[in-house]
A and B are shown apart, each in its own frame.
Chain A
Amino acid sequence: MTWLSWRQQRTETIVAAALLALLAVVFVPEGIHIADYFVSHHVARCVDSQTQACSLVIGNFALSAGTLGALFDSGWLNLVPGLIGVALAVPLLLDLENGTIRLAWTQSVTRRRWLASKLGFAVGTVLLVAGCLTLLLTWYQRPFAQVYGRWDHFDFEWIVPFGYALFALGLALAIGVLLRRSAAALVVAFGIYVVGRIFVESWLRKRFIAPVSATLRSQNPNLHNAWVISEQPSNRAGHPFNGTPGVFQHCAKVGAKGFKILDPRCMERHGAGFTHVVYQPASRFWEFQGIETALFGGVALLLIAFAAWRVLASD
């Protein structure tokens, strides 16, 4: 039974592995280069510093990422877990569409055993490939995570890719058993995957845990790699400043070192001088990873269970 399950998904596994290999070929040399740069230019020392010299170092470091960095930032890589999940659903869907499932079910194994083996292989392969993907990408962006915090590329770190890939697999299986037309099912499933990901990333994620609100005196507060949801000039009580910047003309004065600065007490009188921040602290990163993985993974398991139930009960 194991040989058959493997053999039936051989092509899809190779495709997924090839995709991963392609990514590795692209990201590994770059990643090594970036890691070297990080060490040789002592970027680590400048991470929490506010000096101008350090801003330059950080700026140059950001540039060293090149076009790959732009690819990373663009979010296109988010499609990869979706492709992996959807691809590994294909063997079972083809079995249903071609009627070859009737061959398997009229041998000597029970439906349950056959399905358990096939699903086990699909899920296992998805997890394996997703694991390699997350290892690759987490490693690649380690230096960036140190500078800008982990939140920036939340989607490509640690455990969430497992959830994403399983989600895509579950969608493809569930829709496939309903539609009975593999090609259409894959397209629909991928579409729902994209919509679901966008929904969570742009709306739901920030609401996993109620964010922290704080009003800080500094104009440019250092939030220690937190995920800033909103940042606004405000008054002491935290109410947003709703005037124009021109109003501070007369608050300018010459400061201790000879530079022009804005008098804080004057600013306060005009309802400004503070910054109101809504954010998720860096310490919550792991909780959020857990919640998002559980969310996508849990939905995935439900979808897979549904697909399994439909297949077993089919006539």
Chain B
Amino acid sequence: MTAALETQALGRRYGSQWALQGCTLEIPRGAVTALVGPNGAGKTTLLRLAVGLTRPSAGSVRVFGLDPREQAAEALPRVGFLAQEHPLYGGFSIEEMLRVGRELNPGWDDEAAHARIAELDLPLEKKVRTLSGGQRAQVALTIALAKRPELLLLDEPVASLDPLARREFMQSILEAVAERELTVVLSSHILADLERVCDHLVILATGRTQLVGSIDEIVAEHRLLTGPRDAAEDVTRMHDIVRESHADRQTTLLVKANGHIYDSRWTVHELDLEEIVLAYLGQDAARRREAVLS
């Protein structure tokens, strides 16, 4: 079964700067994937490449096996995209925005769209520019969902929303996932609630993927080890060190384990997802600092 989203050494350059490089990943169908990373990490670039708004400078990107740019006519009806600013035509009413969706999408489910707007308690004649941030986001989401996409890409969808609006927005997305097989990729620089909502993770930093995989596997593979300093080398040889810190007598290592850790000198702790993500992001930041200083 073709993956919902697949990239091969994907890269995008603006002038001499690579916003994204060497990105290779595969998002299975039905997954709800978090795309995390600091600002400028390349999240928006990756999403835009996936929907065909931008052309790759290197490598390739495929959605359901289709090139989103060259095969736009076939790919676009299957992919929904929600840009960060939730673009809508300000002078239009909600009813007119729904009409836009109907006119531009042959697969449009008008009944479902109107039902959602009714559920949200929004009057159809209201002009879009008079809506609050949360309401705008919900209208934009309604339009993205009513075309019945198989893959939904959201760029920082909740960054500008208050906590209640955020919760309601995520609720709407997850309900849609529950109703039919919808693959979701949402980018965020907020880490809270990730584990609750997502089952896959992609960590991006400075245009490169740091970690890709299912959250269950990631949590199962990563461990925090505390133990004597001189034992560090043995671990380094067998497992990938994500973060290390040394006190006088004790070393703390965050590792991605290749297999079970039998060494009894080490105390092994489990980690929650947020700690793992932060470790990867911190590792990248440290590397960048070194590069700047050297």
Contacts and interface: CB of A to CB of B under 8 A. Distances in A.
Do A and B interact with each other, yes or no? yes
A1 B106 CA distance: 11
Interface string A90-108: 0000000011101111111
B268 to A, nearest CB: 46
B19 to A, nearest CB: 11
Given A3-B99, A99-B83, A100-B89, A107 B54 contact: no
A100 B76 contact: no
B263 to A, nearest CB: 51
A11 B147 CA distance: 28
A108 B104 contact: yes
Contacts of B83: 99, 102-103, 106
Interface residues on chain B, size class: 20 to 34
A261 interface: no
B104 A109 contact: yes
A109 B51 CA distance: 13
Contacts of B195: none
B77 interface: yes
A298 B24 CA distance: 48
Nearest to A98: B87
A108 B105 CA distance: 5
A99 B82 CA distance: 12
Q: Most A CB atoms within 10 A — which of B51, B72, B147?
A: B72
A4 B88 contact: no
Contacts, number: 62
Contacts of A1: 103-104
A1 B105 CA distance: 10
A4 B87 contact: no
B53 A108 contact: no
A107 B102 CA distance: 10
B112 to A, nearest CB: 16
A111 B101 CA distance: 15
Contacts of A103: 83, 87-89, 100
A110 B99 contact: no
Nearest to B49: A315
B73 interface: yes
B105 A106 contact: no
A106 B81 contact: yes
Interface in B55-93: 55, 72-73, 76-77, 79-81, 83, 85, 87-92
A111 to B, nearest CB: 7
B89 A111 contact: no
A8 interface: yes
A293 to B, nearest CB: 35
Nearest to B68: A106
A8 to B, nearest CB: 7
Interface in B98-135: 99-101, 103-107
B14 to A, nearest CB: 9
Contacts of B92: 7
Q: What size tier do the contact residues of chain A reach?
A: 20 to 34
B103 A3 contact: yes
A15 to B, nearest CB: 14
A109 B81 CA distance: 14
Nearest to B55: A315
Given A106-B76, A110-B76, A100 B87 contact: yes
Contact of B76 (A4, A98, A99, A108): A108
Contacts of A102: 53, 81, 83, 87
Nearest to B72: A110
Interface in A1-39: 1, 3-4, 7-8, 11
Nearest to B91: A11
B284 interface: no
A168 B73 CA distance: 33
B288 to A, nearest CB: 26
Interface string B34-48: 000000000000000
B88 A100 contact: yes
B221 interface: no
A104 B101 CA distance: 9
B85 A108 contact: no
Given A102-B83, A315-B54, 18 more contacts: A3-B103, A4-B104, A8-B89, A100-B87, A100-B88, A102-B53, A102-B81, A102-B87, A103-B100, A106-B51, A106-B79, A107-B76, A108-B104, A108-B105, A108-B106, A109-B104, A110-B73, A315-B53
Interface of B: 51-55, 72-73, 76-77, 79-81, 83, 85, 87-92, 96, 99-101, 103-107, 147
29 contacts: A1-B103, A3-B99, A4-B99, A7-B92, A7-B96, A11-B91, A98-B87, A100-B89, A102-B53, A103-B83, A103-B88, A103-B89, A103-B100, A106-B51, A106-B83, A107-B76, A107-B100, A107-B105, A108-B76, A108-B104, A108-B105, A108-B106, A108-B107, A108-B147, A110-B72, A110-B73, A315-B53, A315-B54, A315-B55
